[in-house]
Amino acid sequence: MTPTDFIDLLQQAVWMSLMLASPLLVVALLVGVLISILQTITQVQEATLTFVPKILVTLGVLVFLSPWLVAQTVDYTQKTFEQLVWMAQNK
C-alpha cells in the first residue's frame, strides 16, 4: 500500500463519516435554533427546553434515516474491502 492509497482510503472514511453525521447534526442545529427563537420570544430560559426536543427529534430522524445510513455503511465497507483486496493483489 502506497501513501497515496492510504490517503485515498482515509479521505473516503472522512467523507463517509461527514455524510452520515450531517443529517443528524443539521436537524439538531435547526431544532436548537427554533427552540432558542421560541425562548427569546417567550422569555422562558429553561435549559431542558432545548435539550429534550433536540434529543427526541434527532432520535426520530435517526430512526427514519436508519435504512439509508445502514445501506451507505454497508456499501462503503464492501468497496473498502474490495479496494484492500485489490491493493494486496497488486502489491
Instruction: Note the pLDDT of residue 23.
Output: 95
Q: What is the pLDDT of residue 57?
A: 94
Q: pLDDT in tens for each of the 91 residues of the chain?
A: 778 888 988 999 999 999 999 999 999 999 999 998 988 888 887 777 888 889 999 999 999 999 999 999 999 999 999 988 888 888 7
**What are the angstrom distances between the C-alpha of 38 and each of 22, 31, 43, 50, 73?**
24, 10, 8, 10, 36
pLDDT of residue 44: 81
